């Protein structure tokens, strides 16, 4: 069951039962998205899939755009949680050996695995589904991912912290995201050759960042 989103809702559920209902609705919405595409994400279709009344769904998600925004927020939160976990691992010397040896390889492989598993994310992003609010949320999401990458590099002792590092990490995230999206547009499992090329490019960029520290 997908966790309730942190995106703005018409109404924020307070009780456990309401939160569970919203999570069930979002899980149902994802099933519709994957099976039928973005255009099928109407309140009527999602309510039917979730086996709730349209009025009940409307309390939180009044239209298709709200459903899309809520799904996207859940995907972003999952990616950010993964990056936070990497930062925690990087800070723990005993657990960071693999990450320390090849941070780019580990990060690309792990995030590719997330892309591979998140059928809904691919269906949403590749189906021209994002709304203007979702695109704005994506820009903020990428800044948070860049900050997570900055924390990983600092924890590994690969560079020093300054304004340029923040900019460099954002550039790396933007490049990696573009390459990952293209790799998964070509192949639902991720084009292995293109992902390998992404690693080569990003390793070179990381080396340049480390050398200027």
**Could you tell me if 198 and 180 are in contact, meaning their C-beta atoms sit under 8 angstroms apart?**
yes
As given in the structure block, the two tokens for residue 23 are 């999570």
Q: What is the CATH number of the domain that holds 124?
A: 1.10.357.10
Where residue 17 falls among pLDDT bands split at 50, 70, 90? confident
Longest Cα–Cα distance of the chain, Å, equals 59
* Residue range 21-54, pLDDT digits in tens: 888 999 999 999 999 999 899 999 999 999 999 9
Phi, psi angle pair for 12, to nearest 5°? -90, 125
Cβ atoms 95, 32 nearer than 8 A: no
* 58 within a domain of the structure (yes/no): no
At 124-154, the pLDDT tens digits run 888 766 788 888 999 999 999 999 999 999 9
pTM of the model: 0.87
Confirm whether 207 is domain-assigned: yes
Domain of residue 190, residue span? 71-211
Instruction: Count how many domains the chain has.
Output: 1
Q: Is residue 57 part of a domain?
A: no
The DSSP secondary-structure symbol of 159 reads S
């Amino acid at each position: 069951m997908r966790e309730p989103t942190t995106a703005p809702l018409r109404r924020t559920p307070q009780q456990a039962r309401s939160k569970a209902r919203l999570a069930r609705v979002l899980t149902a919405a994802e099933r519709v998205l994957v099976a039928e595409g973005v255009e099928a994400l109407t309140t009527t279709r999602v309510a039917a899939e979730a086996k709730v009344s349209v009025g009940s769904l409307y309390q939180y998600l009044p239209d298709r755009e709200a459903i899309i925004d809520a799904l996207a927020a859940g995907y972003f939160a999952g990616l950010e949680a993964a990056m936070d976990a990497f930062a925690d691992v990087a800070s723990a010397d005993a657990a960071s050996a693999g990450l320390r040896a090849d941070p780019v390889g580990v990060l690309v492989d792990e995030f590719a695995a997330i892309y591979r598993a998140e059928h809904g994310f691919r269906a949403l992003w590749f189906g021209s589904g994002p709304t203007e609010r979702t695109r704005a949320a994506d820009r903020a999401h990428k800044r948070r991912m860049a900050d997570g990458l900055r924390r990983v590099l600092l924890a590994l002792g690969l560079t020093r912290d300054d304004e340029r590092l923040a900019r460099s990490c954002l550039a790396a995230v933007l490049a990696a995201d573009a390459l990952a999206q293209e790799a998964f547009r070509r192949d639902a499992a991720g084009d292995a050759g293109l992902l390998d090329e992404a690693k080569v490019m990003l390793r070179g960029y990381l080396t340049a960042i480390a050398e200027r520290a």
